[in-house]
Amino acid sequence: MSKRQLAMVMDLNKCIGCQTCTVACKTQWTNRNGREYMYWNNVETKPGPGYPNKWEDMGGGFDAEGNLKDGNIPGLSGDYGIPWDYNHDEIMKGAELAPRSTPQTGPNWNEDEGAGDFPNSYFFYLPRICNHCSNPGCLAACPREAIFKRSQDGIVLVDQSRCEGLRFCIAGCPYKKIYFNPKLFKSEKCILCFPRIEKGLPPACAQQCVGRIRFVGYLDDEEGQVHKLVHKYKVALPLHPEYGTEPNVYYVPPLAGPKKFDKTGKPIEGSDRIPLSYLQSLFGPEVETALETLKTEMAKKKSGQPSELVDLLIAFKHSEMFRLNVQAKKGAEANG
Amino acid sequence: MADSRLVPALLVTMVSGLVANAQAAKPPYAPPEAFMNNEVVVVKQAKAGLPTTTKDKRWQSAQLQSFRLYPQRTVRLNDAAANAKLDVAQPLELRVRALASPQQLALLLEWKDESASRVSAKETRVFGDSFAVQFPYVFGEGHRLPYIGMGDEKYPVIAYLGRAADKGLIARTSAAIGFGSSTRQQATRAKMSMEYDGKEKIWRATWMRPLKDDKHDLKRDLVPVAFAVWNGESFERGGNKSLSSWKFLKIEGQKINENYLTTMAFGYGPGEVGDALKGKELAQQSCAACHHFEGVVTAVPDFAPNLSQVGKIATYGYLRDSILKPNEVVVRNLNQNRHYMKTETIEGQRGHPNNAGMMWYSRDEKGDVISKMPSFDYLAPEDVANLLAFLKAVEK
């Protein structure tokens, strides 16, 4: 376990699914050398099978007693999807734009499909990176103990010199956020842009986010937004807490979805299209309280009263969303 | 019936009388036939030079030995697909031929496989059919065998791995001190090849290295060796594999150390092993609280090494040592982060501490390993003998 824990909060109410984070990550880390199929950051439509396909059904994580559970390993062709190219050279000579191979599946294959029947269908976007868990399933699964948590910030990394490409880590991670590089025969994953972190910069996905949905900071920094959203207001919740890995990416659950329509096409006041039970299945039982807190604070702000929470979530200044140069309190090696 | 080798010895005694008495009192040790049949490959000198390919006719001059390899069940890994295959896995027959020249040792290994699986740079869920040959770094009189699953801290092993890939064979030489510890070495390299015979559905692999160099000397009378095979189709890699128990290469032309041979052949001598049924009763009383074996699954899973088919990969000597001197022969724990204490937290930390109760050993101030298993050295010798018989026979 690490002395401090860096964490990220993503406000799902502000995510527009533009994939700028995905592209920022891909161009920085995964557009080459056996990583072409990997999305260390992806944005998927929920409800939906996500990326890799049906990752929530693939096992891993810990049982109620804290014992590692068996899991499966996604295949490149069926689960991640083999990346395809387009005939860009030929369209200059008059050809129609077409993929060079027949796409079978891929990230965003089910984009914007969601669930529910017209006119009451619904969806929202869920950006996902490695959760840099406090009890990581990947770390526990590696028989070679090649995966470690950095003491200074809790970032989970693979020691490439110890990794032998056995892939038990992939079975162990319930989020399927660790990938096998078949060209280099090593496991690879989101590194939370640690070379940027070490220079006081946020990860590329957070830096580039046009919706300003991502806060980055240390959980023990009580003045920081991350601590306040997670611990003070308890509106930011981990994804699938029942997986037992203690994730350190937190989500402000989607709140202001459109209302349902009745048979005559009129909006039903006070209705929510996204069923609470669905949000609970993603973010655990605390989601109800979190949504209540958000509603109350938003009403306060609307009526002209101050609300620190809503001001935080508005994120007036992009630069203030990241607090990376804050030292741990003296004598306190806890991480919040 | 008296061993025929006793006869000349007795004759010498009679002829030379009292003077030769001391020498003749101890006839040359003849290992029991079953030990020779089950555990030993006789390595003949290749008079016409060593074979260079799997099909080389010179292999015909080698003795054909056949060993059974059993699925590794001592520790359970976490790949659901691999575990589903493991649950129905059958033992595998490995045919071994060995030849030596004054400088080199060569092996030909053959095993059945319904289809060839090779690692590919184009898939994430494909595993390569593989084989490995393992030797102790140190062996001979006065040394016990390393733990079969990649050695232990006191007795490291050197392991040679060959893995089928779509672009030929991937070869690795590693040193190891137990599960998960293998580390690539610049040690004595072996030449390896793997060929799949699609018609007969057989993998054939060759392995050759110098008998002796400054790092490792195999130019000895009785060389412990172990084999492993991975079936890629069954998602086997790392600890998901089939392995043999320690076997021995008896290299022709080297003088036999009888003391070492006697020690290694323990379990095959008269009276050394007892009654398996009585052993089973005792095991159900004494072992079942911590270990799983043959239908007995009362213990917490992973609380201790699983004993299913343990006798198929462990020697009698190892089984005896684990009962009487468990601190000497601990099995390396798999990653201890696999079990954590959900009910316990460390103040200020989000993560939970590991469940120390699931560790198989601890360490004293000197760093020596203390097994969680108590010594059963208070058992009567016949009880130990009965347990050995049961453990050698125990199924999954």
For tokens 């020498």, name the residue.
Answer: B23
- Distance CA(B74)–CA(B6), nearest Å, equals 42
Which residues of B are less than 8 Å from A37 in CB distance? 124
Q: Which of B238, B334, B350 sits opposite A335 (nearest CB)?
A: B350
- How does pLDDT run across A273-299, given as a tens digit for each residue? 999 999 999 999 999 999 999 999 999
Q: Which of A166, A220, A230 to probe by mutation at the B interface, max B CB count within 10 Å? A: A166
User: Residues A130, A135, A140, A146: is their CA dihedral positive or negative?
Assistant: positive
Tokens of B390: 């049961």
- In this structure, the number of other CB atoms found within 10 A of the CB of residue A304 comes to 6
- How does pLDDT run across A169-186, given as a tens digit for each residue? 999 999 999 999 999 999
The 8-class DSSP code of residue A65 comes to T
- Distance CA(A246)–CA(A239), nearest Å, equals 9
Q: Which of B118, B124, B167, B182 to probe by mutation at the A interface, max A CB count within 10 Å? A: B124
Q: Which region, left, alpha or beta, applies to residue B358 given φ > 0 means left and ψ of -120 to 50 means alpha?
A: alpha
Residue B48, SS3? coil
The four Cα atoms A290, A293, A295, A297 give a dihedral, to 10 degrees, of: -140
Which residues of B are less than 8 Å from A333 in CB distance? 348
Q: B342 touching A, CB under 8 A?
A: yes
pLDDT, tens digit only, all 396 positions of chain B: 344 444 343 333 333 444 444 455 667 778 889 999 999 999 999 999 999 999 999 999 999 999 999 999 999 999 999 999 999 999 999 999 999 999 999 999 999 999 999 999 999 999 999 999 999 999 999 999 999 999 999 999 999 999 999 989 999 999 999 999 999 988 778 999 999 999 999 999 999 999 998 889 999 999 999 999 999 999 999 999 999 999 999 999 888 899 999 999 999 999 999 999 999 999 999 999 999 999 899 999 999 999 999 999 999 999 999 999 999 999 888 999 999 998 887 766 778 999 999 999 999 999 999 999 999 999 999 999 999 999 999 998
Residue B338 to residue A141, Cβ atoms within 8 A: yes
Q: A84 touching B, CB under 8 A?
A: no
User: Residues A106, A180, A156, B236: is their CA dihedral positive or negative?
Assistant: positive
**Quick one: pLDDT at residue A146?**
98
Which residues of B are less than 8 Å from A68 in CB distance? 78, 337-339
Which residues of A are less than 8 Å from B341 in CB distance? 66
Please, which residues have CB within 8 angstroms of residue A93's CB and are 6 or more apart in sequence?
A: none
DSSP, residue by residue, B72-129: --SS--SBHHHHHHHHT---EEEEEEEEE-SSEEEEEEEEE-SS---B-TT-SS----
Residue A143 to residue B179, Cβ atoms within 8 A: yes
Task: Name the residue in chain B with its Cα closest to that of A334.
Answer: B348
Residue B81 to residue A72, Cβ atoms within 8 A: yes
Range in A211-220, A240-249, A251-260, B90-99 the model is least confident about: A251-260
- Distance CA(A247)–CA(A249), nearest Å, equals 6
- In this structure, the number of other CB atoms found within 10 A of the CB of residue B369 comes to 18
Residue B180 to residue A144, Cβ atoms within 8 A: yes
Question: Which ipTM value was assigned to this complex?
Answer: 0.93
Which residues of A are less than 8 Å from B83 in CB distance? 70
- Distance CA(A135)–CA(B353), nearest Å, equals 9
Backbone angles phi, psi at B114, to 5 degrees: -60, -30
Which residues of B are less than 8 Å from A140 in CB distance? 335, 337-338, 340
Task: Name the residue in chain A with its Cα closest to that of B120.
Answer: A182
What's A176-244 look like in SS3? CCEEEECCCCEEEECCCCHHHHCCCCCCHHHHHCCCCCEEEEECCCCCCHHHHHHHHCCCCEECCHHHC
| pTM of model > 0.80 | yes
Residue A168 to residue B79, Cβ atoms within 8 A: yes
Q: A168 touching B, CB under 8 A?
A: yes
- How does pLDDT run across A58-78, given as a tens digit for each residue? 999 999 999 999 999 999 999
How, if at all, do strands B242-243 and B64-71 pair? antiparallel
Backbone angles phi, psi at B296, to 5 degrees: -100, 105
CA-based nearest distance B226→chain A, Å: 21
Residue A335 to residue B119, Cβ atoms within 8 A: no
**Element holding B226 (H helix, E strand):** strand B222-230
Q: Which region, left, alpha or beta, applies to residue A138 given φ > 0 means left and ψ of -120 to 50 means alpha?
A: alpha
Which residues of B are less than 8 Å from A332 in CB distance? 348
Q: Which of A134, A145, A334 sits opposite B335 (nearest CB)?
A: A145
Q: What is the rounded average pLDDT of the residues A308-328?
A: 92
Which residues of B are less than 8 Å from A141 in CB distance? 77-78, 335, 338
Q: A156 touching B, CB under 8 A?
A: no
CA nearest to B178, candidates B89, B244, B133, B238: B238
Residue B334 to residue A68, Cβ atoms within 8 A: no
- Distance CA(A245)–CA(B206), nearest Å, equals 45
